Amino acid sequence: MRDETIRAAEFGEGLGGNGWQPKFIGVPAPTRKEKIMTDRSCLVHLRNGTGLTIDSVTVKHNCGGDSYLVDKTIKGMAPNDEQYVFDAKYKTGAIHSDSDHWYLEYTQGDTTHKTSDGFTCELQSDDDGGTVVMSFTETNLNVKPPKSSACDKTIK
């Protein structure tokens, strides 16, 4: 990380006077490549690794509000099938604080299996324009960004 910082005022309780004095906190300065906040996107593919034909599967991604929420339901997914599902929008930058949340739910016969809500797997600036592959088995979801670290979540 660079030594340079942007100085930002934050008001807190101070000494004397009206009780409010500015204090300064260090905020990392963005690199020349990275703006304060940048919108980005990745293609998302889904791979059925269950060995079964899945009746329906729903995939969701969200990164900070309704304008970044995408979801899709696929009916009838064959074993080992891989399909494009949607473009995942996300944000990066020095003041970006939203996380990438993923969700998967599939139905096989009368049984529904799903991840818990809010499973987090972060996309980074280097992932922009690449393909995220979401692979699922009967008990596990693996989210593999193009450059960032992969994440696993149990399916129940």
The per-residue pLDDT for 3 is 39
- Structural domain including 144 reads 38-154
**pTM score of the predicted model:** 0.75
Residues 119 and 89 in one domain: yes
Residues 17 and 86 in one domain: no
The per-residue pLDDT for 94 is 72
Query: What integer is the mean pLDDT of 134-148?
Result: 97
Residues 26 and 43 in one domain: no
Query: Domain tally for the chain?
Result: 2
Residues 114 and 136 in one domain: yes
Query: What integer is the mean pLDDT of 138-155?
Result: 96
Residues 63 and 19 in one domain: no
CATH number at residue 87: 2.60.40.3820
Residues 78 and 135 in one domain: yes
Higher pLDDT, 99 or 130: 130
The per-residue pLDDT for 15 is 43
Query: What integer is the mean pLDDT of 111-118?
Result: 89
DSSP state, residue 125 = G
Show the tokens assigned to 93: 């930058």
Show the tokens assigned to 80: 């080992």
In tens, the pLDDT along 8-67 reads: 434 444 444 444 444 444 444 445 555 678 889 999 999 999 999 999 999 999 987 777
Give me the percent of the chain exceeding a pLDDT of 90.
62
- Write the Ramachandran bin of 37: left for phi over 0, alpha for psi from -120 to 50, otherwise beta: beta
- Distance separating alpha carbons of residues 140 and 134, to the nearest angstrom: 10
Residues 17 and 66 in one domain: no
Residue 72 carries which side chain, given as an amino acid letter?
K
Residues 64 and 14 in one domain: no
